[in-house]
Chains A and B, each alone.
Chain A
Amino acid sequence: MGPGEIVCLLGSNGAGKTTLIRVVLGLLRPSGGEVWLFGRRVDGWMPHRIPRSGVGVVPEGRRLFPKMSVYENLLMGAHGRAAPAEVRARVEELSRRFPLLRERAGQPAGTLSGGEQAQVAIARALVGRPRLLILDEPSLGLSPRLCLEVFRLVREIHAAGTAVLLVEQNARQSLMVADRGYVLQKGQVVLAGTAADLRADPLVRRAYSLAEA
């Protein structure tokens, strides 16, 4: 992945997408192979060093800290990285883009609706000013309208200069926002190419029912 790209990683459940992300984040140790990030080899790093090196994550299922307030969740997004004053400024900045963050600052994150949680999770990943944003199934469990909203947001983040790795089952929409894509099946990359190529690939079309859309 190059800087400033949007790459999407497609595949059905169990294809190995989330495993790959876990390896990248250092939560699983690879049995073989290497992971490179920003010009450094990072496999074998302790998990906390990866986010601190400039990676923001929106985990699958969003995984906000349910009993912490929205504000505290945002603070967690820059944990161990920045001075408190700087973090506060950044949160302030994000609150202009997401008015929700200010309105609900004190509310426990677990009580938000799915769409609101998605916004908070994305904002949380951005607090640390990441150079790379990883989104794992951001559309899961959202209504199509909210999905579109999320994808619009992804494009906006990308326009601001952050590289994005989008892990999705929802092939159609991810291929529309992405530059390039990889298709995983049973733990292997079976297809790789530009988004336009993948959109046209018959296998992808069949597997993801793009034809009907």
Chain B
Amino acid sequence: MNYIIGAFKPPCNISISFADGRTRKQVPLKKENGQTALVPLFQSQENIVGEVSIEPIPGKKVEHNGVKIELLGQIELYFDRGNFYDFTSLVRELDVPGEIHDRKTYPFEFSTVEMPYESYNGVNVRLRYILKVTISRNYVSNIVEYQDFLVRNYTPLPSINNSIKMEVGIEDCLHIEFEYSKSKYHLKDVIVGKIYFLLVRIKIKNMELEIRRRESTGSGPNTYVETETLAKFELMDGAPVRGESIPIRLFLSPYELTPTYRNINNKFSVKYYLNLVLVDEEDRRYFKQQEITVYRLQENQ
């Protein structure tokens, strides 16, 4: 019986390892099955170097029509599940057709790979990078092995970073002026600012600052927009009076933000907003939403 079961098992183990696997930073990646695994982290223009080792199960041989390794950048839209859109696809042939009897390793190298988009795992869309090793076979299905890796791209400090300052209000009811010191924030940044009350005629109960992520997928009639509130941060408790100014200090680090993605291959975009919400005693909400740009700053910078 063992024999029969063994027949359906792949006849070999494939492992993909990176040349700098020991030193390269590993980051957690949430897999489809809900588990997280540590995967290596790359950025665009890096060389992805490593080796693939194929180790047949002892006493077996692997007949193949060739071995290849592909580097794929895929976008998967969930409304179109299973259909991957590859925006990057690089192939390296590792072996010509033949048989593998013993453990065999193939070095591979993708030099200065262009990976313009970051890995992203959203509500309706996923962008991922994989290394895919395929052992092509006749008559039976190919043997395929995947290795995920993450890509993060860093942005230098923006040269222009204006503050967001605005006066808003409801006539004869509420006038406020708010100011966020910057319009562009890196992921570990702090939002600093203040809200200045020019006129208060409503009984405010509290005030919050929300960070909202707006993920837009598809295009045209098939556009799906998903908005998530990532942070609800109470700024003020109680009712202020005219002339009061309330400080804002919101650390972004506890929240799982990504950089802003304006347009990823015409497939999706991810934008961030600060939503200032005032709640009155009847639980009516008055809010004002402002887009901010989130970027990834080189951490050791």
A and B together in one complex = no
Give me the interface of A with B, judged by CB distance under 8 Å: none
Give me the interface of B with A, judged by CB distance under 8 Å: none
